[in-house]
Structure 1
Amino acid sequence: MSLLNGGMAAIFGAAFGGLYPNGVLHRDGTGPIYDDEGNIVGYDGGGDVPIKVQRDACTYAMRQSEGYADGDVMLIILTSGLAHMPTTDSQVTDGNGDRWMVASVDRDAANSHYVCRGRKA
Protein backbone atom coordinates (compact mmCIF):
# COMPACT_ATOMS: atom_id res chain seq x y z
CA MET A 1 0.00 0.00 0.00
CA SER A 2 1.54 3.31 -1.05
CA LEU A 3 1.10 6.56 0.83
CA LEU A 4 -1.26 7.83 -1.85
CA ASN A 5 -3.26 4.58 -1.95
CA GLY A 6 -4.62 4.72 1.58
CA GLY A 7 -1.30 4.46 3.39
CA MET A 8 -1.54 8.06 4.55
CA ALA A 9 -5.00 7.41 5.97
CA ALA A 10 -3.63 4.48 7.96
CA ILE A 11 -0.67 6.51 9.24
CA PHE A 12 -2.87 9.50 10.11
CA GLY A 13 -5.46 7.25 11.74
CA ALA A 14 -2.81 5.48 13.84
CA ALA A 15 -1.22 8.76 14.89
CA PHE A 16 -4.39 10.70 15.67
CA GLY A 17 -7.05 8.04 16.23
CA GLY A 18 -6.41 8.04 19.97
CA LEU A 19 -6.68 11.83 20.13
CA TYR A 20 -9.94 12.20 18.22
CA PRO A 21 -13.11 11.63 20.25
CA ASN A 22 -15.47 8.79 19.37
CA GLY A 23 -18.55 9.78 17.44
CA VAL A 24 -21.28 8.32 15.26
CA LEU A 25 -22.04 8.80 11.58
CA HIS A 26 -25.80 8.45 11.11
CA ARG A 27 -26.66 7.39 7.56
CA ASP A 28 -30.16 7.32 6.09
CA GLY A 29 -31.06 5.39 2.99
CA THR A 30 -28.82 3.47 0.64
CA GLY A 31 -25.29 4.76 0.38
CA PRO A 32 -22.01 3.70 -1.18
CA ILE A 33 -19.35 1.65 0.62
CA TYR A 34 -15.74 2.65 -0.17
CA ASP A 35 -12.49 0.69 -0.01
CA ASP A 36 -9.21 2.17 1.31
CA GLU A 37 -8.48 3.68 -2.12
CA GLY A 38 -11.78 5.55 -2.35
CA ASN A 39 -13.40 3.17 -4.85
CA ILE A 40 -17.07 2.27 -4.45
CA VAL A 41 -17.26 -1.45 -3.68
CA GLY A 42 -20.96 -1.78 -2.87
CA TYR A 43 -24.04 -0.18 -1.36
CA ASP A 44 -25.85 -0.62 1.93
CA GLY A 45 -29.03 0.49 3.62
CA GLY A 46 -27.61 3.11 5.95
CA GLY A 47 -27.51 2.95 9.73
CA ASP A 48 -25.08 4.13 12.40
CA VAL A 49 -21.32 3.81 11.95
CA PRO A 50 -18.72 4.49 14.68
CA ILE A 51 -16.22 7.22 13.72
CA LYS A 52 -13.40 9.34 15.12
CA VAL A 53 -14.45 13.01 14.83
CA GLN A 54 -13.04 16.34 15.95
CA ARG A 55 -15.26 19.44 16.10
CA ASP A 56 -13.67 22.84 15.40
CA ALA A 57 -14.53 26.34 14.21
CA CYS A 58 -15.37 26.76 10.53
CA THR A 59 -12.62 27.88 8.20
CA TYR A 60 -12.74 31.22 6.41
CA ALA A 61 -13.69 29.42 3.17
CA MET A 62 -16.60 27.66 4.94
CA ARG A 63 -17.85 30.95 6.37
CA GLN A 64 -17.79 32.48 2.87
CA SER A 65 -19.60 29.56 1.22
CA GLU A 66 -23.23 29.64 0.17
CA GLY A 67 -25.57 28.44 2.89
CA TYR A 68 -23.26 29.21 5.83
CA ALA A 69 -25.10 30.17 9.04
CA ASP A 70 -23.89 31.32 12.45
CA GLY A 71 -23.43 28.29 14.63
CA ASP A 72 -22.09 26.04 11.85
CA VAL A 73 -18.99 24.03 12.81
CA MET A 74 -16.20 22.12 11.09
CA LEU A 75 -16.23 18.35 11.64
CA ILE A 76 -13.00 16.48 10.86
CA ILE A 77 -13.70 12.76 10.43
CA LEU A 78 -10.79 10.29 10.13
CA THR A 79 -11.10 7.94 7.16
CA SER A 80 -8.96 5.14 8.63
CA GLY A 81 -11.19 2.09 8.92
CA LEU A 82 -14.23 4.02 7.67
CA ALA A 83 -15.95 2.35 4.73
CA HIS A 84 -18.83 4.84 4.60
CA MET A 85 -18.37 8.34 3.25
CA PRO A 86 -20.38 11.08 4.96
CA THR A 87 -22.82 12.83 2.63
CA THR A 88 -25.18 15.77 2.95
CA ASP A 89 -27.85 13.19 3.82
CA SER A 90 -25.82 12.15 6.89
CA GLN A 91 -25.76 13.39 10.46
CA VAL A 92 -22.87 13.20 12.92
CA THR A 93 -22.87 12.93 16.69
CA ASP A 94 -19.59 14.28 18.06
CA GLY A 95 -17.72 13.29 21.22
CA ASN A 96 -19.74 15.77 23.30
CA GLY A 97 -23.01 14.12 22.24
CA ASP A 98 -24.03 17.03 20.00
CA ARG A 99 -25.75 16.03 16.75
CA TRP A 100 -25.00 17.85 13.48
CA MET A 101 -26.52 17.75 9.99
CA VAL A 102 -23.78 17.53 7.36
CA ALA A 103 -24.04 20.61 5.11
CA SER A 104 -20.91 19.99 3.00
CA VAL A 105 -18.23 17.30 2.63
CA ASP A 106 -14.65 17.52 1.35
CA ARG A 107 -11.96 14.85 1.42
CA ASP A 108 -8.34 15.86 1.86
CA ALA A 109 -5.81 15.07 -0.86
CA ALA A 110 -4.11 12.34 1.18
CA ASN A 111 -7.46 10.59 1.88
CA SER A 112 -6.76 10.75 5.63
CA HIS A 113 -9.89 12.63 6.66
CA TYR A 114 -13.13 14.28 5.62
CA VAL A 115 -13.74 17.94 6.38
CA CYS A 116 -17.45 18.61 6.81
CA ARG A 117 -19.48 21.66 7.67
CA GLY A 118 -22.06 20.76 10.27
CA ARG A 119 -25.25 22.51 11.36
CA LYS A 120 -27.00 21.78 14.67
CA ALA A 121 -29.62 19.08 14.13
Structure 2
Amino acid sequence: MGLLDGGLQAVFAGAFGPLFLDGTLHKVETTPDGEGGVIRTPTDTPIKGMVDRYSEAYRASAGIPETDARLIVLQHGVGAAPDTDSEITLRGARYRVMAVEQDPAQAAWTIRGRPV
Protein backbone atom coordinates (compact mmCIF):
# COMPACT_ATOMS: atom_id res chain seq x y z
CA MET A 1 0.00 0.00 0.00
CA GLY A 2 1.44 3.36 -1.04
CA LEU A 3 1.39 6.48 1.05
CA LEU A 4 -1.22 8.06 -1.20
CA ASP A 5 -3.28 4.85 -1.24
CA GLY A 6 -4.28 5.10 2.42
CA GLY A 7 -0.89 4.30 3.93
CA LEU A 8 -0.82 7.59 5.81
CA GLN A 9 -3.98 6.81 7.79
CA ALA A 10 -2.08 5.15 10.63
CA VAL A 11 0.60 7.86 10.63
CA PHE A 12 -1.98 10.66 10.82
CA ALA A 13 -4.01 8.78 13.44
CA GLY A 14 -0.91 8.28 15.58
CA ALA A 15 0.15 11.91 15.27
CA PHE A 16 -3.21 13.67 15.47
CA GLY A 17 -5.49 11.13 17.17
CA PRO A 18 -4.56 12.27 20.69
CA LEU A 19 -5.41 15.86 19.74
CA PHE A 20 -8.79 15.04 18.20
CA LEU A 21 -12.01 14.49 20.13
CA ASP A 22 -13.74 11.17 20.61
CA GLY A 23 -16.95 10.98 18.65
CA THR A 24 -19.39 8.63 16.99
CA LEU A 25 -20.33 8.00 13.37
CA HIS A 26 -23.98 6.97 13.15
CA LYS A 27 -24.78 5.08 9.94
CA VAL A 28 -27.76 3.07 8.80
CA GLU A 29 -26.87 -0.05 6.83
CA THR A 30 -29.54 -1.36 4.46
CA THR A 31 -29.80 -4.97 3.31
CA PRO A 32 -32.48 -6.63 1.18
CA ASP A 33 -35.09 -8.49 3.22
CA GLY A 34 -35.80 -11.03 0.45
CA GLU A 35 -39.36 -9.77 0.01
CA GLY A 36 -38.68 -6.64 -2.02
CA GLY A 37 -37.99 -4.39 0.96
CA VAL A 38 -34.94 -3.55 3.00
CA ILE A 39 -33.82 -4.05 6.56
CA ARG A 40 -32.35 -0.89 8.11
CA THR A 41 -29.73 -1.57 10.77
CA PRO A 42 -28.26 1.37 12.71
CA THR A 43 -24.54 1.10 13.45
CA ASP A 44 -22.36 3.32 15.63
CA THR A 45 -18.62 3.52 15.01
CA PRO A 46 -16.14 5.35 17.27
CA ILE A 47 -14.25 8.12 15.50
CA LYS A 48 -11.67 10.82 16.18
CA GLY A 49 -12.59 14.26 14.91
CA MET A 50 -12.78 17.97 15.43
CA VAL A 51 -15.31 20.71 14.82
CA ASP A 52 -14.19 23.78 12.89
CA ARG A 53 -15.86 26.81 11.32
CA TYR A 54 -15.96 27.92 7.72
CA SER A 55 -14.65 31.41 6.98
CA GLU A 56 -17.29 33.99 6.15
CA ALA A 57 -15.82 34.43 2.66
CA TYR A 58 -15.99 30.69 1.98
CA ARG A 59 -19.55 30.46 3.31
CA ALA A 60 -20.65 33.29 1.04
CA SER A 61 -18.94 31.92 -2.07
CA ALA A 62 -20.11 28.31 -1.53
CA GLY A 63 -23.61 29.13 -0.26
CA ILE A 64 -23.08 27.36 3.06
CA PRO A 65 -25.58 28.28 5.81
CA GLU A 66 -24.18 29.90 8.94
CA THR A 67 -25.42 26.96 11.04
CA ASP A 68 -23.26 24.36 9.23
CA ALA A 69 -19.95 23.29 10.72
CA ARG A 70 -16.78 21.90 9.16
CA LEU A 71 -15.97 18.51 10.69
CA ILE A 72 -12.59 16.84 10.26
CA VAL A 73 -12.70 13.08 10.90
CA LEU A 74 -9.68 10.75 10.81
CA GLN A 75 -10.29 7.75 8.57
CA HIS A 76 -8.05 5.28 10.41
CA GLY A 77 -10.10 2.47 11.93
CA VAL A 78 -13.40 3.63 10.43
CA GLY A 79 -14.69 0.94 8.09
CA ALA A 80 -17.23 2.70 5.88
CA ALA A 81 -17.11 6.32 4.83
CA PRO A 82 -19.82 8.66 6.06
CA ASP A 83 -22.53 9.46 3.53
CA THR A 84 -25.44 11.88 3.42
CA ASP A 85 -27.58 9.39 5.34
CA SER A 86 -25.10 9.47 8.25
CA GLU A 87 -24.87 11.58 11.38
CA ILE A 88 -21.85 12.40 13.53
CA THR A 89 -21.68 13.23 17.22
CA LEU A 90 -18.73 15.39 18.29
CA ARG A 91 -18.27 17.66 21.28
CA GLY A 92 -21.72 16.76 22.58
CA ALA A 93 -23.50 17.91 19.41
CA ARG A 94 -25.01 15.78 16.65
CA TYR A 95 -24.63 16.75 12.99
CA ARG A 96 -26.29 15.45 9.85
CA VAL A 97 -23.74 14.83 7.08
CA MET A 98 -24.44 17.20 4.18
CA ALA A 99 -21.28 16.59 2.10
CA VAL A 100 -18.08 14.56 2.39
CA GLU A 101 -14.65 15.26 0.88
CA GLN A 102 -11.54 13.11 1.23
CA ASP A 103 -7.99 14.39 1.26
CA PRO A 104 -5.55 12.93 -1.32
CA ALA A 105 -3.68 10.93 1.36
CA GLN A 106 -6.96 9.29 2.44
CA ALA A 107 -6.15 10.16 6.04
CA ALA A 108 -9.19 12.31 6.88
CA TRP A 109 -12.60 13.33 5.67
CA THR A 110 -13.77 16.94 5.64
CA ILE A 111 -17.48 16.90 6.28
CA ARG A 112 -20.06 19.65 6.13
CA GLY A 113 -22.31 18.96 9.10
CA ARG A 114 -25.66 20.51 9.95
CA PRO A 115 -26.77 20.46 13.60
CA VAL A 116 -29.65 18.08 14.21
TM-score, structure 1 length as denominator? 0.79
- Residue 64 of structure 1: which of 45, 61, 66 is its match? 61
Equivalence for 2:102: 107
> Larger Rg: 1 or 2?
2
Q: CA deviation at 1:71?
A: 1.4
Q: CA RMSD in A?
A: 2.0
In structure 1, give the amino acid aligned to 2:23. G
In structure 2, give the amino acid aligned to 1:83. G
Q: Deviations over 1:47-70 (max 9, x none)?
A: 11110011000255455335x211
Q: Are the equivalent residues in 2 in contact too, given 1:58–1:117 (CA < 8 A)? A: no
Gaps of 5+ in 1: 32-43
Equivalence for 1:4: 4
Identity percentage of aligned residues:
36
Q: Following superposition, which runs of at least 4 residues in structure 1 exceed 3 angstroms of deviation?
A: 59-63
Q: Are the equivalent residues in 1 in contact too, given 2:71–2:113 (CA < 8 A)? A: yes
Alpha carbons of structure 1 residues 20 and 70: separation in structure 2 relative to 1, 3 Å: same
- Residue 48 of structure 2: which of 52, 75, 78 is its match? 52
Q: Are the equivalent residues in 2 in contact too, given 1:26–1:91 (CA < 8 A)? A: yes
In structure 1, give the amino acid aligned to 2:44. D
| Structure with the largest fraction of strand | 2
TM-score, structure 2 length as denominator? 0.82
Alignment length (residue pairs): 107
